[in-house]
Amino acid sequence: MNLLLKLEPSLSFKIWGGEKLKTIKNIETEKSLGETWEISTHPSGPSQLSVNKTNLSELVELSYLLKYIDTSDNLSVQVHPDDEYAHEHENEKGKTECWLILDAEPGSGIYMGFKPEVTRKEFKTALEAGLAMNNYLKFYEVSAGDFFVVPAGAVHAIGKGVTLVEVQQSSGVTYRVWDWGRVGDDGKPRELHINKAMDCLRFDQGFNRQLELSKKEGLFKDVGAQSLYNHPDFKAELINLGKGDKKEIRLAPKEGLTVLRGSIGLDGEIYKAFDSGIATSDGIVLAEAMEECSILLVKNRDS
């Protein structure tokens, strides 16, 4: 058995989804594909082994989840709970996540954090009055190579025209605060979770200022390895390689990787952009870059 097993994603169709992931993954469907859960053991969408279609969740349990997201419309303004709140109210883990931007249309961006001086009372009053809640959030125009940390408690929304890779705790808990006044496929407004969201949203200025300070830029420019984010449930690292570069990558059990751009030889197989795999044991794989490429490595909590 190879040290690295290639995976196939679980597909998540969304009203705001785009066309890019369908093209990349060669998926024929009329539905809008918003997310591909590339490395997942979450019951809502486990990924599968490419070789025999076995659900990854039958083999291991992961503390993290890696997915690609592509948007043709704005996501809802939302928040995720921390571990304590999620355990008490949802019998789930909390959800801290991080995003690495892969592509963005001109002017596209993300909403994250409250503008200075926005208070809980002001926000709740505006929400009840049906006002446009994006006016209370900071907006960041983005481009490929930008990186953001989105901790539990942070108000956020991915804007339209953005493609990114997300690493998160293995959790499916999202509380929608506001949904741009749109309706779902059934013609009715999508469910909101105002009370739980208000329990979790953090308005303190120090927290919201830190969201801005955590932003990184230009991460695809320099060849080499760099740490992106360390969380108790996962660690994310980026490796950029030039054409023809070779690098030995040490992997631990349950450590996942995905190729963000370019093509590369890994453990005797060719991995193209948006291909993902998971390590079955300790060992070293030789990465041989066929062109400029980037690999995202994610360590499990106990690896």
- Taking alpha carbons only, the member of 136, 59, 58, 69 closest to residue 97 is 69
Collapsed DSSP state (helix, strand, coil) of residue 200: helix
Q: Give me the helices (H) in 201-238, please.
A: 205-213
Contact 100, 147 (CB under 8 A): yes
Both 182 and 45 in one domain: the answer is yes
* In the predicted structure, residue 185 carries a pLDDT above the cut 80: no
Structural domain harbouring 231:
224-300
Tens digits of residue pLDDT in 194-209? 999 999 999 999 999 9
Both 189 and 241 in one domain: the answer is no
Both 258 and 177 in one domain: the answer is no
Both 109 and 198 in one domain: the answer is yes
Q: Which two tokens stand for residue 255?
A: 């450590």
Task: Note if 176 is an active site residue.
Answer: yes
Collapsed DSSP state (helix, strand, coil) of residue 25: helix
How far is Cα 268 from Cα 297, in angstroms, rounded to an integer?
18
Residue 1: per-residue pLDDT:
63
Residue 303: per-residue pLDDT:
65
Considering the domain boundaries, does residue 218 fall inside one?
Answer: no
Domain count, the chain: 2
Both 148 and 106 in one domain: the answer is yes
- At position 226, the amino acid (one-letter code) is Q
How does residue 302 score in pLDDT terms, banded at 50, 70 and 90? confident
Considering the domain boundaries, does residue 173 fall inside one?
Answer: yes
Tens digits of residue pLDDT in 248-262? 999 999 999 999 999
Length of the chain: 303
Both 203 and 247 in one domain: the answer is no
- The number of helices, as runs of H, and strands, as runs of E, in the chain is 5, 22
Both 102 and 150 in one domain: the answer is yes
> Which CATH number belongs to the domain containing residue 201 in this structure?
2.60.120.10
Q: Name the catalytic one among 120, 176, 202, 250.
A: 176
Both 107 and 143 in one domain: the answer is yes
Residue 268: per-residue pLDDT:
85
Both 164 and 252 in one domain: the answer is no
Tens digits of residue pLDDT in 32-46? 999 999 999 999 999
Which of 168, 187, 213 lies at the terminal end of a domain, its last residue? Answer: 213
